[in-house]
Amino acid sequence: MRIGILTSGGDCPGINATIRGVCKTAIFNYGMEVIGIHSGFKGLLELDFEELTEHSLTGLLTMGGTILGTSREKPYSKKHADPLIDKPALLKANVSKLGLDALVCIGGNGTQKTANHIAKAGIPVIGIPKTIDNDVAGTDICFGFQTAVSIATEAIDRLHSTASAHKRVMVIEVMGHKAGWIALYSGMAGGGDVILIPEMPYSMENVCEAIMARMRRGKNYAIVVVAEGLHTDCPGRAGEHIASCIERTTGIETRETVLGYTQRGGSPCPFDRILSTRMGSHAVELIATGMSGRMVSVKGDCITSVPLSEVAGVTRLVPEEHELIVQGRHMGVCFG
């Protein structure tokens, strides 16, 4: 068999480890050929590719980014359609030009949606979920998330001492556009006093009262963790808005830190290396057994798969009664 592999959407730690998992299983266990397509679906439309061999894989387990490059090309999007090119038809033609028996698409929500279109067009395809936001439906976890949580937690840990030294409120804005998984997990792991996520309603009155109550209990600083996608009435960054409201209302000196792309860069943590390896390898098992139109997923400790049609276009949000939120509340954490 000859399979194609591409990476699409925002990068995250563990993509290269996944490519390695796919290639090693395909080459060593099944004698397949692997074609690496550059820059996501853009490379498939432009026939930009390379053959991946054992020699292409050196150092991939620990390497951040993606050796294949990525793009946000959405060939089936009506919004971004090019009147001069029938992208779905071109994509299908190029898959047969390359002689691909199946395509592995590594990406987040947008990529799984595209993969579902590809499956419907009759092309054998397997999706692998990746995003630091952890918001792909149909899987308990995506690789990249644990690494991002570790980076955000380390940053929060470091804010405690400087916050205490200056008797300040520290607001840290972490990634999470639609879903607040990173804010929730890093906020709890880093001992945040206030955690604000897009899924939960909040009032500035409650947030400021939680901070003042902490001060009345004799603490001289507070840590506020904000997901970047938090809804506010003001233009500009959510963290910036929250920080200025807190300072204005409480009179306590407040500073904001935006963690940004450091959460996406660099080497995956050991958990993500294992997860990426398992997911990559499982994608090839699915192809080898003739499966298609499915996304690799993790349910509990098991690696399995779900139909792409079930996950396409669905965002996995933090439920309001998530166990960590309930426990956090019992421990005095303010969620808004």
Member of 129, 176, 190, 280 binding ligand F6P (CB under 6 A): 176
Q: Choose the catalytic residue: 133, 135, 193, 272.
A: 133
Question: Does position 131 bind ligand F6P by CB under 6 A?
Answer: yes
**Least distance between ligand F6P and beta carbon 140 (Å):** 18
Of 15-23, 170-178, 278-286, 295-303: span binding ligand F6P (CB under 6 A): 170-178
Alpha-helical (H) ranges within 72-144 are 87-97, 109-120
Of 126-134, 195-203, 234-242, 306-314: span binding ligand F6P (CB under 6 A): 126-134
Member of 10, 40, 180, 192 binding ligand F6P (CB under 6 A): 10
Q: Is 133 a catalytic residue?
A: yes
For ligand F6P, how many residues bind (rule: CB under 6 A)? 10
R_g (Cα) of the chain, nearest Å: 22
**Least distance between ligand F6P and beta carbon 311 (Å):** 16
Bridge partners for 125 per DSSP? 103
Cβ atoms 168, 215 nearer than 8 A: no
User: Between 217 and 231, whose beta carbon lies closer to ligand F6P?
Assistant: 231
Question: Does position 21 bind ligand F6P by CB under 6 A?
Answer: no
For residues 32-68, one letter each, b for 16 or more C-beta atoms within 10 angstroms of the residue's C-beta and e for the rest, the string is: bbbbbbbbbbbbbbeeebeebeeebbeebbebbbbbb
Strands 169-174 and 49-52: unpaired
**Least distance between ligand F6P and beta carbon 11 (Å):** 8
Count CB atoms within 10 A of the CB of residue 237.
17
Question: Does position 132 bind ligand F6P by CB under 6 A?
Answer: yes
Within the chain, what is the greatest distance between any pair of CA atoms?
A: 70
- x/- site string to ligand F6P, residues 76 to 115, per CB under 6 A? --------------------------------x-------
Structure-token match 């969620």, residue found: 335
Cβ atoms 76, 117 nearer than 8 A: yes
Burial of 189 (0-12, 13-18, 19+ CB in 10 A): middle
User: Between 17 and 27, whose beta carbon lies closer to ligand F6P?
Assistant: 17
Interaction site with ligand F6P (CB under 6 A): 10, 108, 131-133, 175-177, 228, 264
Give catalytic residues, as residue numbers.
133
